[in-house]
Amino acid sequence: MSGKSMSGADTVIQVLADEGVDTIFGYSGGAILPIYDAVFRYNDKNKRADGSAAIPLIVPANEQGAGFMAAGYARASGKVGVLMVTSGPGATNTVTPVRDSMADSVPLVVICGQVPTVAIGTDAFQEAPVTAIMGAVAKHVFLVTDAAQLEKTIRSAFDLARTGRPGPVVIDIPKDIQNWAGTFKGHGTLPLHGYRKRLRAITENKLSDDACERFYTMLSKSERPLIYAGGGVINANASKVMRQFAKEYGVPVTTTLMALGASDTNHPLALHMLGMHGVASANYAVEDCDFLIAIGARFDDRVAGNPARFAPRAKNIAQFDVDSAEIGKVKRVDWHHVGILNAALTDILEYGRSIKFDKTFETWHEEIAALKSEYAMNYDRNSDLIQPYAVIEEINKHSKGEAIISTGVGQHQMWAAQYFDFREPRLWLTSGSMGTMGFGLPAAIGAQFARPDKVVIDIDGDASIRMNIGELETATTYNQPVKVIVLNNRGDGMVRQWQKLYFNGRMSGSDKSLHAKDFVKSAEADGFKFAKRLDSKEDIPAMIRAFMDFKGPAFLEVIIDQDAGVYPMVGPGQSYENMITGDFIKSRSKPSDDTPGASEMF
């Protein structure tokens, strides 16, 4: 297309096509209409082999839903998710998905329509100060005022979104820029000298032999090494080489909430998730390890509740990350490397092979096996009420660690993290750092577009799904076979759990939650042919089988034990030795009486 004259709107779509975009999520409006028309005309001329549009435009119930669909697409595929909205409220409705993606390092390009350049600052109809608003929550924001720079700006946005530490990039395009006509170059990006210099420094920062030698000296002196893997491993597509390193040297792996799937949870040396609601065996392994190897992990408060007492027996801590700001930010480390994780882990592995590093950790492996056996996850299996854990275990028998699991935020999120298996990365989609209720359903729909070959299941709560319940209709409109399950405990379960523990059982605003909705009728009204309610424990196996076997969108509401809690639990600001394991998971230490105060609630 180089040398062809085209409008700004057509330029935007052509660059998206050149970048390999195959799906756009968005909602229309006056200030974005030229670009929306360009999408229509492009798809009218360009078809896939099956006759469908080359770049389908998926229209949800609202812009927040579109944002989370784009994020779900990006998380499941590893590609940049694309979101396209109009000015004013269209843009402001995407603030939460943009911040959510920034917090979890998810690559998005958000294209916002804007009022004409001459009207900016006049409080024109549907005008919002997008650069000011988004500048605080995005990786970068562009306001295009020079039409000749539009093509380079769109291309640069993709570069920024997926390189270094991934994140969302917002492009605000005034309507007159969209209507401008000029020559399409077909190449070129903005200089961005500072960013490219920093990126080049990270990319070119290779591990020296001296650094590798110091790392292996620490490993050779260790008897209980442990890999602590964070979401950066998945974002960097470094799971394969990390697994190879762990396998080659027999180093057990525990992952954060965001890194589930980086290590195959069925592997004997996989310890599943650590942290505030991590499994007991993983947290105890962190307590016992003498060499902690943090890879793409940032020692956040949900993991290192009390940094000074986190990994207390670790004589050495090593940290790999792509972001220099994370090194030593929370926990002092003895060795670190800032660089591309894939390259760094490959170099470490190759160096170990070159020096024929050979040390076995059989005793540690036996201790790991004992921890996993003695402190296994468990719950009240004799209760007459439906236990949420049992429902997830039953689904897991069908999914076998190979389905994409999306969640809302709350107790159901933690139960899903604890009881599902994950055989590979990008199967676990959840709002980690922001903890955004309403994430699960739209993210699942976005993931289904990204991975039509996969079973996609949204594990949601009755409170969380309400936030974006309008997207049920999006699933059926586009005939996406997502499976939606609502674990209904009639209220904000996680908030109630904290109120019971730390607020003397005063259920302020949590047990008076909305109760009138008939979720099954809602799903039926939105076109779900499979929409059922499970309220009997004896019916769990048969109902779950029918739910999983149904071809097409399926909805299941499960009435669970209202008092079911999330255990283990490490109180805010406390160490793993104070972990509360509940009545059905063994504990090797007595919980502390030093409970956090109300100001430390979350």
What string of DSSP letters covers 199-223?
A: HHHHHH-PPPHHHHHHHHHHHHH-S
**At 487, phi and psi to the nearest 5?**
-85, 100
- Per DSSP bridges, beta strands 253-255 and 316-321 are unpaired
Q: Which two tokens stand for residue 166?
A: 């991934």
State the CB neighbour count (10 A cutoff) for residue 477: 16
Annotated active-site residue 528? The verdict is: no
Task: Please identify which of the residues 1, 125, 374, 562 carries the catalytic annotation.
Answer: 125
Task: Please identify which of the residues 63, 394, 471, 557 carries the catalytic annotation.
Answer: 63
- DSSP annotation of 102: H
Q: What is the mean pLDDT of each run of 10 residues along the chain (602 residues)?
A: 94 98 97 98 94 96 98 98 98 98 97 97 96 97 98 98 97 98 96 96 96 98 98 96 97 98 96 96 98 96 93 97 94 96 97 96 98 96 97 98 97 97 98 95 98 98 96 98 96 85 84 82 98 98 98 97 93 91 88 44 40
Contact 115, 126 (CB under 8 A): yes
Domains and CATH numbers, the chain: 5-201 (3.40.50.970), 205-374 (3.40.50.1220), 388-559 (3.40.50.970)
- Per DSSP bridges, beta strands 108-114 and 168-174 are parallel
Annotated active-site residue 175? The verdict is: yes
- DSSP annotation of 31: G
pLDDT of residue 512: 61
The HSE-up count of residue 342 (CA atoms within 13 Å, CB side) is 9
- Is-above-0.85 flag for pTM? yes
Query: Position of tokens 């009420």?
Result: 385
Annotated active-site residue 63? The verdict is: yes
Rounded Cα distance between 171 and 153, Å, is 8
Burial 389-422 (b: 16+ CB within 10 A, else e): bbbbbbbbebbebebbbbbbbbbbbbbbbbbbbb
- DSSP annotation of 428: E
State the CB neighbour count (10 A cutoff) for residue 116: 16
Rounded Cα distance between 284 and 266, Å, is 19
Helix (H, G, I), strand (E, B), or coil: what is residue 183? strand
Task: Please identify which of the residues 414, 494, 548, 579 carries the catalytic annotation.
Answer: 494
Largest CA distance in the chain: 73
Task: Please identify which of the residues 79, 152, 175, 331 carries the catalytic annotation.
Answer: 175
Annotated active-site residue 411? The verdict is: no
pLDDT of residue 590: 58
pLDDT of residue 267: 96
Annotated active-site residue 494? The verdict is: yes
pLDDT of residue 502: 81
pLDDT of residue 255: 98
Task: Please identify which of the residues 19, 126, 240, 315 carries the catalytic annotation.
Answer: 126
Long-range residue pairs from 124-132, CB within 8 A, at least 24 positions apart, any chain: 125/30, 125/88, 126/29, 126/30, 126/31, 126/86, 126/87, 126/88, 126/89, 126/90, 127/87, 127/88, 128/87, 128/88, 128/89, 128/91, 128/92, 130/87, 130/91, 130/170, 130/172, 131/172
